[in-house]
Structure 1
């Protein structure tokens, strides 16, 4: 795995050994759910990510990080890009040590890690926070979602939600471009006629999220040819290309959509909420570093949908190093 060097825990230092850990009771259930979106991870990488997650969430072997800032991320490429951007910007502006604890196994794990002070901040999506964490019904209004997330995260969790980074990474229902053109399909409401002959594919968490599969098929009155094929997100595009599935729950900023000539069907019935990327920060970190909020606000509205898509493609399609991709983006933006 190309990002193994960025794993959040230095296992070779011998600080903690997995066999010596006390596993939280909810870990097995949490590890089934691999995040809002899962990137292209090998089996070894998944194992490394899960071990790293356990090391972060368990108590008794984490040193104090009062003199540094710990940045986390979930376990897919876009999250790592965003977390690296945040980390580099903090290092450049605040001149403090930043520890990277990337590849946490999903939304719930990342949320628990920031609550437990195992990380100080991580990038999240407003729609995920609103539906998966706060358990609210999906809402299409981006301002309503952001304001409620910001208010409730502070009230319930003592977490500060920083202003959006600029792009919206909503779920995207993706099919082969040639097939969409042949059938004349551009909207999800047109899929009902063809869905009984289609196989649907998605990531693990999409099946269980309140804004996921069940509500999606109800809203659009869809019936598919059998149960959904559940797999890592990175494999979904290969499965689409190889005709193993016909419609997939991807992401609006996936770099492989254009590269593989895929088509995104418009969510014309407005099922999916907005997924604006926002930094989530533990209030304790803001007290330790009073300039942290101002520094993070420097990144507000700096990333367009197209820019995020290009960075994702640089990592997933061109196999470039995340650190270099982020450094070039910061230089281009004058950050």
Structure 2
């Protein structure tokens, strides 16, 4: 009887010690073998995605989650496949990419309509959930220096098309053949002819533009060089290019097991405007800072992380 009493006392003490020593985990986190299962954050393979992936990971860690990073996975097909297979739990995706590249649906210029479509179809087809989209729009665009645009009186793509014969455009070679490149612009805005198209490596577009080698550059709405060089983006007045708002796309089962993910990442989305993302991208592409450093500094300034 005495041995039994001692054994029970030892078991009770062991259980109490386990409770005291077990680290705190975010409420609702899935468990595997009694341990919290990390939330795996992925990203695609370019500067903005590295920054956003780090932001998502840091915001989740600040909310108490254990996070594993799998950044720089590759292009859209690789990142999307990672979600479907469970290799990752979430990553930043663009509404226009979801609409055109993944779902292969017709383009639309209405941001709310595009978001509603991708949110509905991703959940229905893939059991994936789109969280709140950011205001930023990383859409395809055409850029000019402020001086040259004012000199020629160009503010819209229609204005550019009217003066196309005087203009040299600089951009990647594939823009001459892509459906959302020159052929797409010609189909929507009229079959114009440029003075010349200067095909270069994407990294040389802005250097050529500001050095006067071209009048118009192929751009994306959140490129860091737009703010750094005070460039003008031409208004897409006939809404050729779909909106490319960014949002976290999360596995439905992960979100159901970890409902705090939505609150942590939805708090971040409203802060990500075109101007903010241009500045952050240039910190990496222009000032050669590490994406993780840029992401952390921004989240500290925004009050999401403590110093």
TM-score tier by shorter-chain length is: 0.7 to 0.9
Corresponding position of 1:122: 91
Higher CA-based Rg = 2
Alignment of 1:229 with 2:199, yes or no, is: yes
- Asked if residue 153 in structure 1 is aligned to residue 122 in structure 2, the reply is yes
Please, which moves more after superposition, 289-298 or 157-166?
Answer: 289-298
| Structure 2 stretches lacking a partner, 5+ long | 1-34
User: What is aligned with 2:249?
Assistant: 280
Conserved in 2, the CA contact under 8 Å of 1:161 and 1:279? yes
Aligned residues of 2:137 and 2:274 also touching (Cα < 8 A): yes
Alpha-carbon displacement from aligned partner over 1:149-206 (angstroms, at most 9, x marks no partner):
1000011111110111332222221123332222121111011233234443445775
Q: Please state if 1:110 is matched with 2:79.
A: yes
> Which TM-score applies when normalising by structure 1?
0.72
Deviates more, 1:127-136 or 1:99-108: 99-108
- Distance change >3 Å, CA 72–CA 244, structure 1 → 2: farther
Of residues 237-246 and 255-264 in structure 1, the stretch that sits farther from structure 2 once superposed is: 237-246
- TM-score, structure 2 as length reference: 0.78
Cα distance change of structure 1 residues 203 and 161 upon mapping to structure 2, 3 Å threshold: farther
Over 3 Å counting, the alpha-carbon distance change for 1:154 and 1:256 in structure 2 is: same
Cα distance in structure 1, aligned partners of 2:135 and 2:269: 6
How has the CA–CA distance of structure 1 residues 167 and 206 changed in structure 2, closer, same or farther, with 3 Å as cutoff? same
Q: Where in structure 2 are the equivalents of 1:19-168 lying within 5 Å?
A: 67-96=37-66, 98-168=67-137
Equivalenced residues, count: 269
Q: State the secondary structure of the residue aligned to 2:72.
A: strand
Unaligned runs of 5+ in 1: 1-64
Q: 1:146/1:329 Cα in 2 relative to 1: closer, same or farther (>3 Å)?
A: same
1:306 corresponding residue in structure 2: 275
Verify the 8 A CA contact 2:170 2:200 in the aligned structure 1.
yes
Asked if the contact 1:132/1:209 (under 8 Å) is kept, the reply is no
Per-residue deviation, residues 267-313 of structure 1 (Å, max 9, x unmatched) = 11121122111111122322443432333222231222222222122
Determine if contact 1:138/1:211 at 8 Å carries over to the other structure. no
Moved over 6 A (4+): none
Residues 139 and 241 in structure 2, CA contact (< 8 A), matched pair in contact too: yes
